Homo-oligomer: A and B are copies of this chain.
Amino acid sequence: MPVPIFSTGIVWLKGEGPRSDIVMSSRVRLARNFAGFPFVNRCKRTDRSQVLDLAKRHLLDLQLSPQLLWIELIGLPQLERSLLVERHLISTQHSKGEEPRAVAVSTPDETLSIMVNEEDHLRIQVIRSGLALSEAFEQIDAIDDRIEDRIDFAYSPRFGYLTACPTNVGTGIRVSVMLHLPGLRITGEIEKVKRAAESMCLAVRGFYGEGSEAVGDFFQLSNQTTLGKSERAVLQDFEHRIIPKIIEYERLARRSLMEKRRHILEDQVFRALGTLRYARQLKADEALQLLSLARLGVHCGLLPDVNPSTINELILLVQSAHLQKAIRREIDQAERRIERARLVRSRIGAPQT
């Protein structure tokens, strides 16, 4: 087992940090490529292996974190790969195929992960709890500098860092936040906000990033283009102008629900808690939707006895790979629904019956 099933040390699950009632996590990632090697999609297997070896040697040697776990994906069972995807440590794309590839993960905090041979040679990611993009950026910037001391990155004085996909050329930076927007979904304003975000050239994605659907009112927002802007300019605009605006919309929606439709809101929140505590079968999507409502209830002060970090942890643990790791065997969908409900009950304090 390359990573533990669940560590209370995972930073982005703590539900701490600024505005963590709405911002689950902040993430900064840099795309970097080694000079002298073709991009991954043009690489032969031997090139990929060389990149992998080079990355492994330097990354482990640099001691970028007290405990950096090196996980090669070749031969890794599907369940372990899914576990990494569910943890947001690797992309779905990176989890597929048998070409030489790896991910380095700082444990137990999991704030730093570096995918090797995904779309670019290196995809360095720092993730934080709440709205903490600047903090994440300072950390990733320092790490980037330290890696660049050892490895020559593909760089053009004119364009900046060169990347496999043109949208990443320049700074190679992507900043994103995972937002929890149940208020806007209930008031019916979520589509308007999504369109507004898209008109500001932001990508709006689901819980698992690129190509995934929104479940449980979780939306990942990220910048789309990086060329022609400095890292700090991208980040400032995102963190101090765009995201606060969306947070403000969600806050207004929640306030309006609490003031004008409190009975409806309470009913939805408490029914969700009741189902979480009593259901004997739960589908993954339904569980996330119920947890979303419970999370909303917690942050609106309706569920003072429910611990917000329990909800955040469950959002991770109800997912299929985590569930199967928790019970130590692979099970079919029908059994997963039963085990998922059992897990939820055991964590969220189902009473006597």
- Residue numbers of A with Cβ under 8 A of B are 263-264, 266-267, 270-271, 273-275, 277-281, 303, 305-306, 334, 338, 341, 351-353
Cα–Cα distance between A217 and B157 once the two chains are bound (Å) = 76
Distance of A349 from chain B, by nearest CB (Å): 9
Cα–Cα distance between A273 and B303 once the two chains are bound (Å) = 19
Distance of A259 from chain B, by nearest CB (Å): 16
Q: Is the CB–CB distance between A280 and B266 below 8 Å?
A: yes
Q: Is the CB–CB distance between B273 and A279 below 8 Å?
A: no
Q: Is the CB–CB distance between A271 and B278 below 8 Å?
A: yes
Q: A275-B274, A279-B271 are in contact. Are A263 and B353 (CB under 8 A)?
A: no
The winner among A338, A351, A353 for most chain B CB atoms within 10 A is A353
Closest 3 CB pairs of A and B: A274-B278, A274-B274, A351-B351
Copy tally for this chain in the complex stands at 2
Cα–Cα distance between A278 and B306 once the two chains are bound (Å) = 14
Residues from chain B with Cβ under 8 Å of A353 in the complex: 270, 273, 303, 305-306
Residues from chain B with Cβ under 8 Å of A303 in the complex: 353
Chain B residue at minimum C-beta to C-beta distance from A305: B353
Distance of A110 from chain B, by nearest CB (Å): 32
Cα–Cα distance between A352 and B303 once the two chains are bound (Å) = 11
Cα–Cα distance between A113 and B145 once the two chains are bound (Å) = 90
Q: A273-B353, A274-B275 are in contact. Are A281 and B305 (CB under 8 A)?
A: no
Interface of A is mostly: helix
Q: Is the CB–CB distance between B266 and A270 below 8 Å?
A: no
Distance of A260 from chain B, by nearest CB (Å): 13
Cα–Cα distance between A274 and B263 once the two chains are bound (Å) = 18
Q: Is the CB–CB distance between A277 and B274 below 8 Å?
A: yes
Q: Is the CB–CB distance between A305 and B352 below 8 Å?
A: yes
Q: Is the CB–CB distance between A273 and B278 below 8 Å?
A: yes
Q: Which of the residues B263, B271, B338 comes within 8 Å of A263, measured between beta carbons?
A: B338
The winner among A274, A305, A334 for most chain B CB atoms within 10 A is A274
Residues from chain B with Cβ under 8 Å of A352 in the complex: 305, 351
Q: A352-B305, A352-B351, A353-B305 are in contact. Are A263 and B277 (CB under 8 A)?
A: no
Q: Is the CB–CB distance between B305 and A341 below 8 Å?
A: no
Given contacts A263-B280, A273-B278, A273-B353, 12 further A-B contacts (CB under 8 A): A263-B281, A266-B280, A267-B281, A270-B278, A270-B353, A271-B279, A274-B274, A274-B275, A274-B278, A275-B278, A303-B353, A305-B352
Q: A305-B353, A352-B351, A353-B273 are in contact. Are A264 and B279 (CB under 8 A)?
A: no
Cα–Cα distance between A334 and B277 once the two chains are bound (Å) = 26
Chain B residue at minimum C-beta to C-beta distance from A345: B270
Residues from chain B with Cβ under 8 Å of A270 in the complex: 278-280, 353
Residues from chain B with Cβ under 8 Å of A273 in the complex: 278, 353
Distance of A306 from chain B, by nearest CB (Å): 8
Cα–Cα distance between A275 and B263 once the two chains are bound (Å) = 15
Cα–Cα distance between A224 and B264 once the two chains are bound (Å) = 45
Distance of A307 from chain B, by nearest CB (Å): 13
Q: A303-B353, A351-B352, A352-B351 are in contact. Are A271 and B267 (CB under 8 A)?
A: no
Cα–Cα distance between A274 and B282 once the two chains are bound (Å) = 14
Chain B residue at minimum C-beta to C-beta distance from A265: B280
Chain B residue at minimum C-beta to C-beta distance from A306: B353
Chain B residue at minimum C-beta to C-beta distance from A303: B353
Distance of A287 from chain B, by nearest CB (Å): 13
